[in-house]
Amino acid sequence: MKKGDIILVCIVLLLGIAGFFVIKYMNREDGGTLTVTVDGKIYETYNLDKDQEVSLEIDGWYNRFEIRDGRVSMIEADCPDHYCVDHAAIDKVNETIVCLPHRVVLEITGGGEEKEVDA
């Protein structure tokens, strides 16, 4: 390869990486509600504006999650793998934390205001 080819490949690669980050971080709205689903059914919804710690104790198992400063994190669970506890805190719409052994899903929904359908 010639020097010009290497420069062109580097420019295209940098543009691709920049495009990835633009798409990833643009149009991400902050959530307003946490929806907790257990075994495919909505268990409870929580407002992200109120800091709280919630324990779920169902069928002999437990999960404990925390809502603080609009972010949600699983802080304790008695499942064997603890992937849900190791998951990063979530705060954007459609982000989830899943505890698969307990069939618990924490999902950020709705930014609080209704959006109009785009024609």
Structure tokens at 46: 């929580």
Contact (CB, 8 A) for 43 and 56: yes
Q: State residue 113's pLDDT score.
A: 53
**Could you read off the pLDDT of 57-83 as tens digits, one per residue?**
988 899 999 999 989 999 999 999 999
Ranges of residues in the chain with a pLDDT under 50 are none
Structure tokens at 97: 């934390």
Q: Which fold has domain 33-109?
A: mini-chromosome maintenance (MCM) complex, domain 2 (2.60.320)
CA torsion through residues 20, 21, 23, 29, sign: positive
Average pLDDT, the chain: 87
List the chain domain ranges.
1-29, 33-109
Q: State residue 31's pLDDT score.
A: 66
Q: Which of 94, 56, 97, 96 is nearest to 74 (CA)?
A: 97
